[in-house]
Amino acid sequence: MEAELSADTIPHADPFALFGAWMAEARNSEPNDSNAMALATATPSAIPSVRMVLLKGHGPEGFTFYTNSHSRKGEEILANPNAALLFHWKSLRRQIRIEGPLVPVDIATADAYFASRSRESQLGAVASDQSAPLDARSTFLQRYAEAEARFAGGEVERPPHWQGFRVLAERIEFWCDRDFRLHERRRFTRDGFEWTSTLLYP
């Protein structure tokens, strides 16, 4: 089914409802990780980097993901708290771009999400110095085994550097693939608490 972005079908003031509808369709059509998104960050001197992460929450309060704040992306976020996100669902022929500043989630929210992860993923977060040089994979596996032994019989504690961040959207653009590259685009822009939107040339 073709998505429509015309002014007659999309409320100007609610990009989050449209995002939720597209995400729900993606869950049914994408074979793996429908919540995967490209996260672009930059250093204070504007050197960019981008990688795939997983969206773990969304709504007017922001678009949430989790990471090791000691990693490259974590250090860039702390030094320059602005980001861009890109969702691309090839099966639906759609993209969404989101831009805005970043804020950390509160400790209780980070603890709750960490507790919801599989024990193996929790231990991996404890064992990994994400983005740091690694001499051999066996070193990482040894650190994993040590973490497994340390928390045997108990809950795995969230490392303080394992954090969540929210992108507070200021711009959200929806893109639909059309034949002959006559694509359809609508950009929503926030001004204070109000949203406005406009169609864009493809």
Strand duo 36-42 + 57-59: pairing: unpaired
Domain 15-200 belongs in CATH node 3.30.70.890: no
pLDDT tens string for the chain (202 positions)? 344 554 445 555 689 999 999 999 999 988 889 999 999 999 999 999 999 999 999 999 999 999 999 999 999 999 999 999 999 999 899 999 999 999 999 999 999 999 999 999 999 999 999 889 999 999 999 999 999 999 999 999 999 999 999 999 999 999 999 988 899 999 999 998 899 999 999 9
The domain spans of the chain are: 15-200
Burial (Cβ within 10 Å: 0-12, 13-18, ≥19) of residue 163 = buried
Catalytic positions are 181
Q: What is the pTM of this model?
A: 0.90
Tell me phi and psi for residue 146, to 5 degrees: -65, -40
Q: Can you say whether the dihedral through the CA atoms of 165, 121, 33, 47 is positive or negative?
A: positive
Residue 194's beta-bridge partner residues?
191
